[in-house]
Structure 1
Amino acid sequence: MTDPTHADPPPPADPATAPHHGAPVAPVPRPAPRPLGEVRRWPRSFAGRLTAPLPGVRAFARLAREGAAAVRPGADGLRDVPKLPFAPGPLPPADPDTLAVTWAGHASWIVRVGGLTVLTDPVWSRRILGTPARVTPVGVRWEDVPPVDAVVISHNHYDHVDAPTLRRLPRSTPVFVPAGLGRWFRHRRFSTVTELDWWEGAELHGVRFDFVPAHHWSKRGLTDTCRTLWGGWVLTDRRDRSVYFAGDTGYGHWFRRIADRHPGIDLALLPIGAYAPRWWLGDVHTDPEEAVRAFRDLGARAMAPMHWATFVLSSEPVMEPLTRLLAAWEAAGLPRERLWDLAVGESRVL
């Protein structure tokens, strides 16, 4: 049975509103790691974790009125598809002291941390349910993916949990998932499935996997809205170097709270696409300017954008996320070398 205190632990004071007197804020201690593969019981619904209500009847009526224009760019917005960044290359060599990332596309990364190879939200399929085919190929052929030591999942939407891709993995692969999603993986015979609530963590071969909040939601079928949790992951090696994978998220207070509990993040993988129209997606997907605000809230050393240039999920022109990100980055006065705007298939070593 899950301890009720895990359901929604009291957050630390938000530094945006708390008084400051020049003294550094002490980081919030991390809880002891949960056992790997622990089978747990969860609430029937996580709807109480929503930052904002899900779209109601009026929003769906407006979506119906506006039709494809509300969810797909027009011809002018698609004309730059050939310019989308695609530059597959060899994966960098990795050892226990290497911290490196390779962008396979969308929210799929190959993270090398603490000697482990970790996949985030792996989607190697050309097409996913309800979405046109990829506009850029996968950046790393499956045959070139190193042996996978672990998988982390941010939430259960089809562009983040892809059953055909997951079937390619050995069922012994450790999988780290949000609360409530373990049953889906165990049904598919994954043998080591670790479900975590917000602010909980687990360890695998010296690497810490911490599940942190996001401004999003979950749904995979007709009757399972918010039955499983959603969030991001902070992966930390033995030398206390860390990568934050945000998954899907809107902008809000959680980024400062994450910084309180995980100070000194080295690299933040943040979404910048699938944001238009704002009346439909503003609560659950950051736009580029909000991604820069989130990066600054996190206090991270570097940022790598994701969740764009792969699937056409919304109505902004396909190259607009990067154009707006670069403008927002410059306007914020941030050093250019701290922005890792990788092409699909490109790698970077910290």
Structure 2
Amino acid sequence: MKTYDGPVSDHFDGLHFFDPNGAPPRSLREVLRWQFGGGRQRNRWPDRAPSPYADTPPERVDGAKVRFSFVGHASWLIQTAGLNILVDPVWSERASPFSFAGPKRHNDPGIAFEALPDIDIVLVSHGHYDHLDLATLSKLAKQFSPRVITPLGNDLTMRSADSAIKAEAFDWQDRVELGKGVAVTLVPTRHWSARGLFDRNKALWASFVLETAAGKIYVVCDSGYGDGQHFRRVADAHGPLRLAILPIGAYEPRWFMRDQHMNPSDAVKALADCGAAQALAHHHGTFQLTDEAIDAPANALDEALDEAKVPRERFVALKPGQVVEI
């Protein structure tokens, strides 16, 4: 498959992207040590953990109000200013290159695909299968033909699978007008990207800052914490932030995951660093990618908030189908 070919920059060496303030992905040897080494403690998830909620969104949300509907894992429907925006949409049964193997859903999407309103914009943060789902993107292209905004190189993955996907690729710090006074800026995040064994970091990864009439929304789809500088830089460049969507799951074992995935304690620190007035948690409870229990992230988030003396209502973990409006 064709991969990105562009000028060398401070985060692209001509072949691979890298984060000068981050950490490289774990080696294959470390992956095997985690998967097959002695002493692994993998909590078993229930086969099904259905959410008691299901959302039927309105056709449009006009004006300065923003409506957030949690689809599950890292997928959201954000409605504002008459625009319908999906983030990292995954409606497939598995987050995997295979239909018969790989992490399987433990609950249904919080919005049935048939209940979606007309989708105008899709934001795809990076190429991992729990974020870039080609089957869902193809279905969206066929039904709605939305613009798909994604970091450099992921557009090639999409178009090589389905030329109908209207993918537009951008670099870190690029600002994209979405219409009706809404814009998005792609910002660095502490992560990496791959679709297979031989394309590590050949496409870029990013978080998003959405500009809305209700304020700026910081959408972090996947990130480690590091020393927090990624979050402080967003605060400096884009603050004040009205709301942040922050990942809290897929973090055990810490020796393996800490560089690329935050745990709830890290996420609470990230909220302090970015300075958002409010936060919503995601990246938990739908696909078992790592070793913690299904309810561990939400429980640990409450504990971390209490320890940091942050009101629990400031940083909430939703279940699929739940809605928040600002």
What TM-score, normalized to structure 2?
0.88
The residue type paired with residue 133 of structure 1 is: K
How far does residue 333 in structure 1 lie from its aligned partner after superposition? 1.6
**Does 1:189 find its partner at 2:138?**
no
Percent identity over paired residues: 36
**Pairs within 5 Å for 1:327-338:** 327-338=303-314
* 1:201 pairs with one of 175, 183, 188: 175
Pair 1:154 & 2:154 matched: no
Q: Whose RCO is larger (CA < 8 A, sep 6+)?
A: 1
Shift in alpha-carbon separation, 1:181–1:57, aligned structure 2, 3 A: closer
Matched letter for residue 266 of structure 2: E
265, 270, 275: which one pairs with 2:251? Answer: 275
SS in 1 for 2:292: coil
Structure 1 gaps, min length 5: 10-40
Task: Supply the distance in 2 between the matched residues of 1:180 and 1:57 (Cα, whole angstroms).
Answer: 23
Q: Is the 8 A contact 2:158 2:167 kept in 1?
A: yes
Question: How many angstroms apart in 1 are the aligned matches of 2:222 and 2:107?
Answer: 20
Corresponding residue of 2:186: 211
The corresponding residue for 1:122 is 89
Cα offset, 1:79, TM superposition:
5.5
Instruction: Give how far 1:190 is off.
Output: 3.9
Rounded Cα–Cα distance in structure 1 between residues aligned with 2:46 and 2:90? 25
**Residues in 1 aligned to 2:305 and 2:293: alpha-carbon distance in whole angstroms:** 19
Deviations, residues 3-59 of structure 1 (Å, cap 9, x unaligned): 76xx349xxxxxxxxxxxxxxxxxxxxxxxxxxxxxxx9942103547113223652
Structure ranking higher in strand proportion: 2
Equivalent residues of 1:85, 1:309 under 8 A apart: no
What residue in structure 2 maps to residue 176 of structure 1?
Answer: 149
> Can you list the C-alpha shifts for 1:75-131, whole angstroms capped at 9, x where unaligned?
xxx35964x754213325611322110000000000113221100000001122153
Let me know the Cα RMSD of the aligned residues: 2.5
Q: Is 203-212 or 90-99 further displaced after alignment?
A: 90-99
Residues 173 and 190 of structure 1 are in contact (CA less than 8 Å); yes or no, is this contact kept in structure 2?
no
Q: CA deviation at 1:61?
A: 4.5
CA distance in 2 between partners of 1:91 and 1:68 (Å):
45
Q: Does residue 244 of structure 1 match 2:214? A: no
Q: Secondary structure at the match of 2:169?
A: strand
- Tell me the TM-score normalised to structure 1 length: 0.82
Query: 1:46-57 residue pairs with structure 2 within 5 A?
Result: 46-47=17-18, 49=20, 51-56=22-27
Question: Is 1:145–2:120 an aligned residue pair?
Answer: no
Larger Rg: 1
How much has 1:299 moved relative to structure 2?
0.4
Instruction: State the alpha-carbon separation in 1 of the partners of residues 165 and 30 from structure 2.
Output: 41
